[in-house]
Amino acid sequence: MNSIKIPFAPISKPMEASAGKTGLWRFLRPEIDVQRCIKCGICWMYCPDAVIVLDEEGVPHIDYEYCKGCGICANECPVKAIKMVREEGKP
Amino acid sequence: MKAGEVLVITSNYAAAYAAKLARVEVISAYPITPQTTVVEKLAEFIEKGELKAKMIRVESEHSAMASCIGASAAGARVFTATSSHGLLYMYEMLWWAAGARLPIVMGVVTRAIAPPWTIWTEHADILSPRDSGWLILFAENAQEVLDMIIQAYRISEDHRILLPVMVGWDAFISSHTAEPVSLPPQNKVDEFLPPPGLHPIKLDVKNPFSHGNLTYPEYYMEFRYLIQRSMEDAKKVIKEVDERYGEITGRRYGGLVETYRCDDAEHVIVTVGAASGDAKEAVDYLKSRGLKVGLCRLRSLRPYPEEEIVKLLEDKESVIVIERDNSMGLGGIIAREIASTVFIYDLPLNFASFIAGLGGREVSSTDVKNMVNIALHKFSRGVSRIKDVWYGLRREVLP
C-alpha cells in the first residue's frame, strides 16, 4: 500500500486525479467554432469540471485531458458555436 | 476577574448573546419551534448594528448546515441553531461537517420527534448524531448555555480538535424560561477566544485544494481514526477550556461531568440537562433523610466521559440512570453507555435505569425521589440489575 502521509482533514491538492486523466472517459468531443463564438463566457461559467479557460481576448479553450464530454457547454452556447463530435479513438 | 452585566433572559436569548460575544461572522439557520427566538434575537443584533455578521436565509436545515460548512471552510466563525426535525433534516450534512474537520458551533434545543406531533423536550434528537464526529455538549440552564457556547468555539477551533460542536438545552424548560444570566464583558471574551479565521485548513484561492475527494480503503480508516483521536484529545481540551473560562468569569463546571454532593455518596444518579436541577433538589432531600445519594450530570455526551465515570463510580455501591430518550428496540441510550463502562471496567455496582419525561412530560424532584426509592428498594431485596423502567407509563391508556 501507498505510504504517503495524510493531512489532518481529507483534502486534496490539484494534481492528476486518482481516476487518471478523465478526458479518456469522453466519447463526444466539444469543438468550438471560434468564428461563430461571441465570447460571452457562458460555456466557461457552466462547465462543471472547470476545464474551459478564457484567453486574454475572452475566447474559450477546452482542456481535453480532463473534459469528460458531458455536452453542457454545447447545450448552453447561445449561438450554437460548440458542436459535439464523436471521438474516433484518439485521446 | 470583572463581573459583567446581568440580564434576565431565556436560554435561547443566552445562546444568541453567546454567539454575539463570540463575534460570529456567518449565521445560517431555518426557524423551528422552539429554536426560533435564538435566530430572531441574532437577526435583531445584526439589524441594530450590534453584531457584524452575515445572515444567510435558507430554505431548509440541510441548506443551513451546507452553508455553515462552506463558510467554515472559508475560515469564517459560524453559528446555527436547530431542533428536532430540523436536526434530522440536516443529518447528512452533520457527518459532512465532522468528516471535513470544520469548526462549527450549533445550538440544539432538544425536542421530541413526531409523529405524533410534539414540540416539547426529549433527547432523541441530539442523541441521533452521536456517532457522527460532532462533540455533543449539554447545558442545564441559561447561564450554562451562554458559557458553553462561548467555550464551544475555543474547543471546536483548537488545532488538536477541529471538529464541530453542538450545545444542547431542553425545549421550553430552558429555551423559554427566563433566568438571571451574567454576561462576561466583551473584552474578556475577546481575550478568551482567538480571533476567527485561524483555521489551519482554510480555503485559499492562491493555494487551491478541494474537500472530501474519493478516498480508497487504504486511507479512509486513518481519517476516521484521526477523528477518534481528536475526540480523545477533546476530553483534555474541554477541561482546559473550562478552567481557562473559570479564570475570566469565576464559573467552572467541572469539565465533562458535573458532580453534585458525590463525595460521601454511595448511590449516584446520572442525568442530562434541565431535569438535573430537580434531581439536585431530590438529592438534597434524600440526603436530609440520611440516604447517601449524589448526582452526576453529563455535560459532554461526545466525547463520552468514560474516565470520569470510572473514577466517580469505582468506590460506589450503585448507579441509577434517569434519561429522556429511548433507542427503539434496545432501551435507554445513556444507560447502555454507562452499562458498557461498568462492564469493561468491571465495576461491582448495582445498576438501575429509567426512561422518563419523554415528549416533555415533567420530571419533578418528587419523580426523581420515587425512582431512587424504587431502585434502592429493589437493590435491598437482592435485585442488582434493573433496566429500562418506563417511569410513569400510563398503562391504563394503552390499547
Quick check: B384 pLDDT over 50? yes
The CA distance from A12 to the nearest CA of chain B, in Å, is 5
B219: closest CA of chain A, how far (Å) = 8
Helices (H), chain B: 11-21, 36-47, 61-73, 84-89, 91-99, 124-127, 142-157, 186-192, 217-249, 275-288, 306-313, 333-344, 365-380
- Distance, in angstroms, between B194 CA and closest chain A CA? 20
pLDDT band at B110 (very low <50, low <70, confident <90, very high): very high
Residues sharing a CB contact under 8 Å with residue B267, sequence separation 6 or more, in sequence order: B291, B292, B293, B294, B316, B317, B318, B319, B320, B372, B375, B376
In chain B, pLDDT over 90 holds for what percent of residues?
A: 96
Collapsed DSSP state (helix, strand, coil) of residue B240:
helix
Question: Would the pLDDT of A91 be above 60?
Answer: no
- Weakest-pLDDT range from A22-26, B287-291, B370-374: A22-26
Domain B6-249 matches domain B257-397 at the CATH topology level: yes
Chain A 23-62, CB below 8 Å of chain B: which residues?
none
Query: Which residue in B197, B189, B171, B180 sits closest to B38, CA to CA?
Result: B171
- Partners of residue B100 in chain A, C-beta under 8 Å: 9-10
| Chain B residues closer than 8 Å to A6 by CB | 219, 222-223, 226
Out of B111-115, B214-218, B268-272, B336-340, least confident range: B214-218
Interface test with B, best of A3, A4, A8, A16 (most B CBs within 10 A): A8
In order of their start, the domains of chain A are 22-86 (3.30.70.20)
Q: What is the pLDDT of residue B292?
A: 98
What confidence score (pLDDT) does residue A12 get? 85
Q: What pLDDT sits at residue B114? A: 97
pTM of the predicted structure, to 2 decimals: 0.90
Whether B2 shows a pLDDT value over 60: the answer reads no
Q: Number of residue pairs across A and B with CB atoms under 8 Å?
A: 44
Residue range B48-85, pLDDT digits in tens: 999 999 999 999 999 999 999 999 999 999 999 999 99
User: Which one is the CATH code of B257-397: 3.20.20.450, 1.20.1060.10, 3.40.50.300, 3.40.50.920?
Assistant: 3.40.50.920
Instruction: Give mean pLDDT, residues B199-219.
Output: 90
The mean pLDDT of B160-175, rounded to a whole number, is 98
Q: Name the residue with cell 420515587.
A: B370
Residue B214 banded pLDDT, cuts 50, 70, 90: confident
Q: Average pLDDT of A19-47?
A: 94
CB A11 to CB B218 under 8 A?
no
Mean of the per-residue pLDDT values of chain B: 97
Residue B18 — pLDDT band, cuts 50, 70, 90? Answer: very high
Contacts of A1 in chain B (CB under 8 A): 218
Residues of A in contact with B200 (CB under 8 A): 8
Among A33, A6, A79, which Cα is nearest to B229's?
Answer: A6
Higher pLDDT, B48 or B200: B48
Checking ipTM against 0.85, whether it exceeds it is no
* pLDDT reading at B199 higher than 50: yes
CB contact under 8 A, B100 and A8: no
Domain ranges of chain B: 6-249, 257-397
Which residue from B132, B108, B131 is spatially nearest to B121, judged by alpha carbons?
A: B108
Task: Round to whole Å and give the CA distance between B31 and B82.
Answer: 7
Q: Per the CB < 8 Å rule, is B216 touching A10?
A: no
Is the minimum CB–CB distance between A9 and chain B shorter than 8 Å?
Answer: yes
Name the residue in chain A with its Cα closest to that of B103. Answer: A9
In words, the CATH class of domain B6-249 is alpha beta
Segment A37-79, tens digit of pLDDT = 999 999 999 999 999 999 999 999 999 999 999 999 999 999 9
Distance CA A31, CA B42 (A): 52
Predicted confidence (pLDDT) at residue B99 exceeds the cutoff of 50: yes
DSSP B311: H
**CA distances, B225 to each of B10, B158, B280 (Å):** 39, 18, 38
A15 close contact with B: CB closer than 8 A: no
Give the chain A residue whose CA is nearest to the CA of B220. A10
User: Does the pLDDT value for residue B231 go beyond 90?
Assistant: yes
Q: What is the mean pLDDT of residues B286-303?
A: 98
* Cα angle: B2, vertex B3, B8; to 5 degrees: 160
Q: Are the beta carbons of B196 and B75 closer than 8 angstroms?
A: yes
Q: How far apart are CA B5 and CA B21, in angstroms?
A: 12
Is B162's CB within 8 Å of A9's CB? yes
